[in-house]
Every structure is written in C-alpha cells, then in structure tokens.
Amino acid sequence: MAYMSLKNQKRILLMLIVCCTVIVVLFGRLVYIQVIKYDHYSQMAYEQQTKERTVEAKRGTIYDTTGTKILAQSISVNLITVVPKSIDKDKKEQIADKLSEILEIDRDGVLAKLSKNSASEIIATKIDDEKANKILEYINEEELTGIRVDEDTQRVYPYTTLLSHVLGFVGTDNQGLAGIEAYYDDELSGIPGKIVGSTDGKGRETPFTNEQYISSTNGKDLVLTVDATIQSIVEKYLSKAVIENVAQYATATVLNPNTGEVLAMATYPTFDSNDPFTINDETIKASWDTLSSKEKSEALENMWRNKCISDTAEPGSTFKIITATAALEENVVQLDTPGEFSCAGIMKVGTWNIKCWRYPNSHGSESLREGIMNSCNPVFMQLSQRLGIEKYCEYLDAFNLYGKTGIDLPGEATGIMHDRKSMAVIDLATTSFGQTIQISTIQTAVNYSAVANGGYLIKPYIVKEIKSNTENYDKKVESQILKQVMSKETADSLLSALESTATDGTAKTGSVNGYRIAGKTATGENGRGSNLKYLAGYAAIAPVSSPQVVVVVNVFDAKGPSGHGGGAVAGPVVSSILDETLRYLDIPTDYTSEDNDIVEKVVPDLTGMSFAEAKTTITSSGFKFATDVNLNDTDIIKGQIPKSGASLMEGSSIRLYASDDAKQTVSVPDVRNMTSTAAIKALHSAELNVRIVGSGTVLTQDTSAGNVVEKGSIITIHCGDTTDLP
C-alpha cells in the first residue's frame, strides 16, 4: 500500500483551503447580491428589461367666479417619441424625411435624434390629432417599430390676454411658472401616469409583449373670485387710459370690501398667457436680437410681473385716509369743526418749506372734511404733528403697511415705510400726505375696504373654491377679517367725507350717474429731479349707501394732454369702471337720473313690432326714431340700436332696421376737452347717442376717437372741471 508523500498532502490541503475560501467568497457574494442588494439589482434588472414613458396628468381647469367661464384648461394633444435602437439603420433617412414633413419641423434635427445611441428621444410635443393620425397611418403602412404616439396635454387660455398677470402660465413641462398657475401648482398639476413596456438587453422593444398602462390623476379645479365680465370692463378702460395718456403702465383692482374677494385685477400692458415668451413692447421687440440673455430675461420678467401686488410706488393723497383715521381714533380732531386748520399754501416743518398742491394760492381756514375734500397737504401735516411719530407708526402697523396683505398670489411686495426708530419730523410730515413712502395698489384697495366695511382690515383672496372631478376634495375658502383698525363711527365719518370729495371736492371726475360715490384722488411723486415720474391715482367706494365695491386705479408716468394728476387721468377711468360694473352687478341706484338734472330712460324692446307700432312705442317712451332707409308701416323690425335695456337720455334717437344687413357705421369724433354741450352736438351730428357722466369739460370718452361703430351707438363722455384738481 502506497502512502502519499507529505508534500502532496500539503498541496491537497492547500487546494482544499483555496477551494473552500472561493466557495465561501462566492457564497458571500451570492448572499450580498440576492439578499443585501436585492432591491438594488432588482431595480437594475427592471430598468434594463422595461421602458417607462410618462403620461402627463391633465391640469385642473380654472373658472371665473360664475363657474361657467373657463379661464385656463388643459386639452389632449400628442407626444411623438422614438426608440433609436429599435429603428432599422437603413430606414432612418426615410423616417426623418416623413416625420419632418408631417410635423413641419427641421429634418436634420429629427435625423440627429434618430441616430443617437439612447433609449428614447422626444421628436415633438403638443401635436394635434390630425398630425398624430398621419404618423400612425405611416407607422402601420410601413410596419415600423420604434416610433410612438402617446397622449400629452397642452395648457390653453381661451381669453388670451384676459387676467394674464393673475393667471400666469405654464412651462413646456406643464409646471406653473407664474401667477395662480405657480401659487396653486400642487393642486392643479395632478399625478402623472406611465406606460411600461418590455425591452431586450440593448434597449430595443421586444415583440409579442403587452404594455402596461397606469393612468394619471387629473389636477384639481379652481374657481376664482374674479368675474370675467368685470375683468374685461376693467381691462378695456385701463388699456384706453395708458394709450390715450401716453403712460408707462397702469394698474387696477376691484375688491368686495366686505369679503376681500378680488372681483378684478389688471395690469396694462398685458401679454398672452398662451404665448408668454413673446415680448409685448414694440421697442424692445425691434432690438430683441441685440439684447443679452440677462436683458431678455429682465424684459420678460417685467412683462409678466403683476404690478398690482409686486410693484410699490408713492401713493400720494389716497394715503391721507390713514392719517385721518389715526387722528379721528385718537380724538385729536373732529370731522366738521370749523376753522380747525389753516392753509397758507406752504408750511414750514423743521428747516423745510413744504407746499400745498394749490400753492401759491391757499385753502385758508378748513375743517377736516374740507381738508379731505380739498386734498390739502398742510391739514394732514398738522394732524401728524398732533399725533407724534410713535402714535402715527402704530396706525401704520395696524394697517399692515410694513408688511403684505397676504393675498394668495406669488410675488407680493411689502410696503416701504420709514423706520420708526430713525423717523424724523420731516418724514412724519411727508408720510402724512402719502409721499416718501411706497405701497402697492392692492394695499390701497385693502385700506379703502376698511373704510367701506365699517373699520375692518380684510385679507384679499383670489381663489374661492378648490374641487376635484371625483368630488372627494372640495374646499371653499372663507373670507378673513384680520382685525379692526378703526371704529364704525370713524369709518362712517371718513366715508361721508370721501363722498363730499366726490360730489363737491377734488374727486368729482369719478362720479357715476344714479349712484352715491365716495372717492379720493392722488398724484404721487416717484423719483426726484430728472427722474421724477408721477403716479395718477384714484380710489373709490360705491355705492355709499351700501358699499359693494372698492376700485383703485393707478396710472404711472402719464405724458398725455390731460397731464399727470389723479383727478384728470385716473378719475374718469374709475367712473367708467364703476358705471358698467354697478349696472352689471344689478346694484340698485341711489337716485333717479332726474335728480342729477339728466333724464335717462330705458330703451324698449322693439324687435318683432311693425314699424308703425315701433314708432308709437318710441315716441311714447320719450325718444325719437331714425332709419337709414325708408320703411313701410307694415315692415317688421328685426334690429335696433341701442339694444333694449340700455339707459338713454330722453330725446335721443333709436335707429330701426328691418334687415340686419342694413346697419351702417360711422367714425367716432374726438370730443375731449370740449364743453359737454359742444360734445353732444358733435356726437349727434355723427348720428351717435350720448350718455353724460359729470359736468363741465369732457375729460374722456369711452370709445376712442377714430373707432368705427354702428350708427346710434351710445358714446359715454365723462366730464369734470380740471381747473382745480390735484
């Protein structure tokens, strides 16, 4: 029997140890891979063997306050993608030709994507069904693989520029980038779905396998406080104000003072939310290609900025209600004490001589009511001296003027006030009449809402309801009263004084036939010296008998023939907005037209009557009739201008038509700066009807000169006395 040598035994033992070590290492590696790193490698295998494509969720719809008018919605479109590895090399040229032809895009760009060594490439997004169907037909005819047509969504704003600064817009990935779209992005965006398919080791689609479709969850819908009709009224008159007054921009806000609901909010110039990257300034557009990336970005951001909330400016005299509130609340003055104040046209504060707007003339002896009516700066400087810095700053803080209103929109700016620790006597004096400080349009609207609602500071809001199609989520936003900043007695006193200002003071240009209006003008000075730019402002409350709306309009850097004062520039805009808004809301008038020396009557419905019947009805209603062609008494009336329900001055003409095709048009004459009598004559000569708001010289006309309208249309002219306006 042969024995193994010791040397061989050692070799075998060593080999055995090595084998055991290898087995242990391999077993450990196996445990590491299959147990410890199981999730990691399972995911790697899944990713290697499958390919996911995202199915975009449909963003929620945004409605106006009526719940019927859609302001923003997502529609179904198509996404075209390719899997380069699944496409035959010898067909890529042909496919690039066909796809570029159908999609009307660059052929070389398509070919470059088809030639990439990647798992998936997007060829085109937001493709309509017509083009998508052509691509599907091409795929089927040629029996192609690697080309996909998937569901996608596109954001659409049906009213284009309406409410654009508030709505904002979305990016190419349907994520909100500005306005409500950004602020409520989590609610609107929903949860994306996906399509999962199998691939081989090279990332190519595997045949005879089914794709798994995981549906998306649509975003929630929003119902706004904004009324699209009121918004369109505001934007119509705001754009007109900027154009006719050659202004840089203008802002307007309409609030319900009792709830804080924003009924309208506008900035002009505006932009199209469907095309937000096209600049709206013709001068900038002409030099666009020469601008740097930074300059382009700044220009776009300026165009998108909601200046009602994001821009602050020196408010001017609309700020005087803050000073008056503090003085009345602290009992340092009564509203109607005769001779309480004296205006010499100029007042010395420290080493400074501060002029009243009426300088070198003066207002003389005044009560507080008269000081508000006259918008007299010395009255408010004297009030601030009685209050002192500490007490005055307490009221600035009470009105949240050091902070924000808290509106549910992105980018709200804080008010800019003097630091109370370093505030000097001269700062107190200038602040008292709205200079050397800055606030936003929305802050002014909130301040006047406190006067309108009996003394309460409300939180403005823009979204009143959030809901889903499944009805599992339905949130209604309640109005919030933040605090009481003045007593009802003080609020009523200020409302009375502001009404006097609108009827007999500096704010007469904001009056509206049939309604009691409270108003205040402003002329803010922003910048100094050669950089000085004026803000023409007007704040109004209506109707005084039961306040339902607060309107604030600011026109920045007006250079037109009407000057830059709030009374001449902003007052008529507010009057026009209020006139249409109050009637649209069906708010009862406070007095009849006869009470205002203007007899207005409602136009009857004449359609369907014979010409003979229509003539009798018209004359018995206090109107005249007119026709463009001879009508027989038996002819049936098919059209009339103005339409039934309109308010028209007694003695005006109603034009009758037996055929809708027979209506004739006329160019509107320019009656601005005429007396009201001369304006009426000019408009009647053009066969147009007239509505008059106010008295005196024509400040504005609601239809711009040169516009072509149908004969018989109503042109509303706003009149006032511009010889004594701040």
**Chain segment 220-249, per-residue pLDDT in tens:** 999 999 999 999 999 999 999 999 999 999
In this predicted structure, the answer to whether residue 204 has a pLDDT above a threshold of 60 is no
Q: Quickly list DSSP for 652-663.
A: -EEEEESSGGG-
Query: Residue 594: its pLDDT value, please?
Result: 53
- Same domain, yes or no: 574 and 643: no
Among 591, 610, 630, give the residue marking a domain's end.
591
Query: Residue 574: its pLDDT value, please?
Result: 96
In this predicted structure, the answer to whether residue 609 has a pLDDT above a threshold of 90 is yes
Q: Helix (H, G, I), strand (E, B), or coil: what is residue 717?
A: strand
Q: The domain containing residue 138 runs over which residues? A: 52-159+187-221
Highest mean pLDDT among 38-52, 328-342, 516-530, 627-641: 328-342
Asked if residue 287 is part of any domain, the answer here is no
CATH code assigned at 701: 3.30.10.20
**Chain segment 546-579, per-residue pLDDT in tens:** 999 999 999 999 998 888 999 999 999 999 999 9
Averaged pLDDT for residues 597-612? 86
In whole angstroms, what is the distance from residue 582 CA to residue 253 CA?
15
Among 564, 591, 618, give the residue marking a domain's end.
591
Q: Helix (H, G, I), strand (E, B), or coil: what is residue 368?
A: helix
Q: 198: closest CA among 412, 33, 48, 12?
A: 48
Q: 537: closest CA among 673, 375, 346?
A: 375
Asked if residue 330 is part of any domain, the answer here is yes
- Same domain, yes or no: 544 and 630: no
Which token pair is 15? 């080999």
Question: pTM to 2 decimals?
Answer: 0.82
Which token pair is 340? 């309480």
Query: Residue 417: its pLDDT value, please?
Result: 97
In this predicted structure, the answer to whether residue 209 has a pLDDT above a threshold of 60 is no
Averaged pLDDT for residues 60-71? 95
Q: What residues have CB less than 8 Å from 495, skipping those under 6 apart?
A: 451, 452, 518, 541, 544, 547
Averaged pLDDT for residues 429-458? 97
Asked if residue 272 is part of any domain, the answer here is no
- Same domain, yes or no: 450 and 526: yes
- Same domain, yes or no: 504 and 636: no
CATH code assigned at 424: 3.40.710.10
Between 41 and 364, name the one with better pLDDT.
364
In this predicted structure, the answer to whether residue 3 has a pLDDT above a threshold of 80 is no
- Same domain, yes or no: 605 and 582: no
Query: Residue 90: its pLDDT value, please?
Result: 82
In whole angstroms, what is the distance from residue 583 CA to residue 478 CA?
26
CATH code assigned at 104: 3.90.1310.10
Query: Residue 279: its pLDDT value, please?
Result: 92
Cα 66 to Cα 81, 225, 471, 476, distances in angstroms: 40, 9, 19, 14
Q: 511: closest CA among 575, 581, 590, 570?
A: 575
Cβ neighbourhood burial of 339 (10 Å; 0-12, 13-18, 19+): exposed
Asked if residue 707 is part of any domain, the answer here is yes
Asked if residue 302 is part of any domain, the answer here is no
- Same domain, yes or no: 378 and 404: yes
718 beta partners = 693, 700
Among 545, 561, 591, give the residue marking a domain's end.
591
Cβ neighbourhood burial of 300 (10 Å; 0-12, 13-18, 19+): middle
Residue-wise burial string across 397-425, b where 16 or more C-beta atoms lie within 10 A, e elsewhere: ebbbbeeebebbbbbbbbbebbeeeebee
In this predicted structure, the answer to whether residue 690 has a pLDDT above a threshold of 80 is yes
In whole angstroms, what is the distance from residue 315 CA to residue 519 CA?
15
Could you check whether the bond before residue 642 is cis, i.e. omega within 30 degrees of 0?
Answer: yes
Domains held by the chain: number:
3
Residue 475: other Cβ atoms inside 10 A: 13
pLDDT confidence bin for 2, thresholds 50/70/90 = low
Query: Residue 208: its pLDDT value, please?
Result: 47
In this predicted structure, the answer to whether residue 404 has a pLDDT above a threshold of 80 is yes
- Same domain, yes or no: 604 and 540: no
pLDDT confidence bin for 428, thresholds 50/70/90 = very high
What radius of gyration, in Å, describes the C-alpha atoms of the chain?
Answer: 35
Query: Residue 350: its pLDDT value, please?
Result: 87
CA 683 distance to own-chain centroid: 34
Least confident of 204-218, 234-248, 298-312, 398-412: 204-218
Averaged pLDDT for residues 519-541? 91
Q: 61: closest CA among 231, 244, 184, 242?
A: 184
Averaged pLDDT for residues 455-461? 97
Query: Residue 199: its pLDDT value, please?
Result: 57
Asked if residue 181 is part of any domain, the answer here is no
**Chain segment 624-660, per-residue pLDDT in tens:** 998 888 889 999 998 889 988 888 888 889 999 988 6
CB 440 within 8 A of CB 412: yes
Query: Residue 433: its pLDDT value, please?
Result: 95
- Same domain, yes or no: 601 and 585: no
- Same domain, yes or no: 604 and 586: no
- Same domain, yes or no: 404 and 480: yes
Asked if residue 303 is part of any domain, the answer here is no
Least confident of 90-94, 118-122, 253-257, 539-543: 118-122
Residue-wise burial string across 258-273, b where 16 or more C-beta atoms lie within 10 A, e elsewhere: bbbbbbbbbbbbbbbb
- Same domain, yes or no: 471 and 389: yes
Highest mean pLDDT among 78-92, 344-358, 399-413: 399-413
CB 321 within 8 A of CB 447: yes
The 3-class SS string of 211-252 reads CEEECCECCCEEEECCCHHHHHHHHHHHHHHHHHCCCCEEEE
Averaged pLDDT for residues 88-96? 83
For residue 218, what is the DSSP state?
A: P
Asked if residue 666 is part of any domain, the answer here is yes
- Same domain, yes or no: 553 and 689: no
| Proportion of the chain above pLDDT 70, given as a percent | 91
